[in-house]
Amino acid sequence: MATPVPNPAIQNVNKVGLSKADYKGLPSTLCQGCGHNGIAAQIVAACYEMNLVPEKVVKFSGIGCSSKSPTYFLGRSFSFNGLHGRMPSLALGGMFADHTLKAIGVSGDGDTASIGLGQFKHMVRRNLPMVYIVENNGVYGLTKGQFSATAERGLQLKKQGTNPYLPVDIAMEALISNATFIARSFAGDPRQVKELLKAAIAHNGIAVLDIISPCVTFHNHENSFHSYSFGKEHEEPLHEISYVPPKEDITVEDFEEGTTREVVMHDGSQVVLKKLEKEYDPRDRWQALHMLEEAHSHDWLVTGLIYVDPEVPSLFDIYNIPATPLNRTPNSKLRPSHEALDEINRLMF
């Protein structure tokens, strides 16, 4: 068995001895300029910088252009490209097999907020440890341009007419389902995407990343919430985040406007927040709600780490499963003894 060992002779390798190429996947088959491509690139970068071993990562996705993304990063990792809207259950089962893995799920807004809303919310509620990325473009890309549930009201699409419904706010949905990590970003802001990804990877619990990711082909009207042009203008960064890996343990106690604040992640790593104008404490659920509601009423696109609670037990903390992955349990521990069956036979009366 070949566990990769750091080879100092090779340049441009990270602490587990891997180069960025080890984190790549196949070339993208998405449209040129699709927001999803940028996100895949940042996943590569984040995993490289976080020194993840690709074999310790498992990828999940639903169906859609977005859900193809796992093809384009971490080619060495296990991956399951499942069904439309039903990835959460697949991932939950898969992660029970080896809960020591890091799960990265990629979904689309149709996949998550239309067909998949139920599974999404129940996954969040269970606090499944997983980085759950919604590549949110307000449209069904792969089926060529219909409204998804995150399409803003009044949006016009070529064959569909005008959307009469208010959009589903994925961050808000996650929040009231008691998600333990919620962030929002914009595919056009690779730096923030990467930093949020790193924070999400370090989180032990469900980490929902709602990343606005424009569909250049079917949803790029000037007036659209999810298109680049709009995004760039209306985007209002909440705070800047830079991820500090565990080894370089920096703690900033002082926290005032314009300064930074650390949130200690479950694995001991920290997220450093740089506050912008507003005072914002992402550990305050109430403030998060407030902020989202305000953003909602103002039609704002607020990015950053919206909420995090690193203390909540994850799904696997709730279960009394062993530290070794369940899928490594020897057969001998799986089949009870002859004596056990004798006892059972006696009880069956």
Partner 1 sequence: MSKRDLVVNDFCITFSTVNGSGSATANTTLMRALFKMGIPVSSKNIFPSNIQGLPTWYTLRLSKDGYMGRVEQDDIIVAMNPATLHKEVQYLAPGGVLLLPDDLNFVNTRDDLIIYRMPVKKLIKDAEVPPSLRDYISNMVYVGVLCFLLGIDLDLIHQALDFQFKGRQKPIDQNFHMVEAAYVWSKQNLEKKDPYLVEKMDGTDDCIMTDGNTAGALGSIFGGVQFTGWYPITPATSLAESLIEYLPKYRVDPETGKDTYAIVQSEDELAAIGMAIGAGWGGLRSMTSTSGPGLSLMSEYIGLAYYAEVPVVIWDVQRVGPSTGMPTRTAQGDLTQANFISHGDKNMIILIPGSIQECFEFGWRAFDIAERLQTPVIVLSDLDFGMNMWTSKKFEYPDQPMDRGKILWEDDMEEFMAKHGGEWGRYRDVDGDGIPWRTLPGNRHPKSGYFARGTSHNEDTGYTEDPEKWETIFKRIANKFETGKQYLPKAIADESQKATLGIIASGSADPAVQEARDLLAKQGIKTDYLRIRSLPFDTEVEDFLKKHEQLVVLDINRDGQLNQLLTMTYPVYSEKTTSLAHLDGLPLNAKWVEKQILSLLEVK
> Which parts of this chain interact with ligand SF4 (CB under 6 A)?
30-31, 34, 36, 65, 137, 141-142, 215-218
Q: Which does 149 bind (CB under 5 to 8 A by kind): a copy of itself, ligand SF4, ligand TPP, none?
A: a copy of itself
Segment near partner 1 (CB under 8 A), from 1-9, 189-197, 246-254, 274-282? 1-9
The verdict on 116 binding a copy of itself (CB under 8 A) reads yes
| 73 part of the interface to partner 1, by CB under 8 A | no
Asked if 325 interacts with partner 1 (CB under 8 A), we say yes
Which residues lie closer than 8 Å to 66 by C-beta, 6 or more apart? 36, 106, 107, 108, 109, 111, 134, 135, 137, 141, 213
CB-wise, 54 or 141, nearer to ligand TPP?
141
Tell me: does residue 109 bind Mg ion (CB under 5 A).
Answer: yes
State residue 39 phi and psi, 5-degree precision. -65, -45
Left if phi > 0, otherwise alpha if psi is -120 to 50, otherwise beta: which for 341? alpha
341 binds, among partner 1, ligand TPP, ligand SF4, none (CB under 5 to 8 A by kind): partner 1
Binds ligand TPP (CB under 6 A): choice among 71, 119, 137, 260: 137
Does residue 20 sit in helix, strand or coil? helix
Residues 193-222 contacting ligand TPP, CB under 6 A: 215
Instruction: Kindly give, in sequence order, each residue whose CB lies less than 8 Å from that of residue 288, ignoring residues fewer than 6 positions away.
Output: 175, 182, 282, 306, 307
Kindly identify the residues of this chain, within the stretch 193-252, that bind Mg ion according to CB under 5 A.
Answer: none
| Residue nearer to ligand SF4 on the CB measure, 220 or 260 | 220
Please tell me whether residue 111 binds ligand TPP under the rule CB under 6 A: yes
Q: Which residues contact 182 (CB under 8 A, 6 or more apart)?
A: 171, 174, 175, 207, 208, 210, 288, 305, 306, 307, 308
Contact by Cβ (8 Å): 67, 60: no
Q: Does 121 bind a copy of itself (CB under 8 A)?
A: yes
| Binder of residue 81, out of Mg ion, partner 1, ligand TPP, none (CB less than 5 to 8 A by kind) | partner 1
What's at 21, amino acid-wise? A
Q: How far is the CB of 23 from ligand TPP (least distance, A)?
A: 22
Dig out the tokens for 161 from the structure: 């007419």
Interacting stretch for a copy of itself, rule CB under 8 A, among 23-31, 59-67, 158-166, 238-246?
158-166
- 11 makes contact with partner 1 (CB under 8 A): no
Residue 219 gets which letter from DSSP?
B
Question: Judged by CB under 8 A, does residue 62 bind a copy of itself?
Answer: no
CA distance 127 to 318: 10
163 interacts with ligand TPP by CB under 6 A = no
318 is a site residue for a copy of itself (CB under 8 A): yes
Question: If you write DSSP's letter for every residue of 41-93 in order, what string do you get?
Answer: HHHHHHHHHTT--GGGEEEEE-SSTGGGGGGGB-TTSEEEE--TT-HHHHHHH
The identity of residue 274, as a single letter, is K
Q: List Cα–Cα distances, 347 to 337, 342, 344, in angstroms.
A: 15, 9, 5
Among 8, 27, 164, 258, binds a copy of itself (CB under 8 A): 164
Instruction: Determine if 79 is a binding residue for ligand TPP (CB under 6 A).
Output: no
Contact residues toward a copy of itself (CB under 8 A) are 114-119, 121-122, 125-126, 149, 164-166, 168-169, 172-173, 176-178, 285-286, 289, 293, 297, 318
Contact residues toward ligand TPP (CB under 6 A) are 63-66, 84, 108-111, 135, 137, 139-143, 148, 215
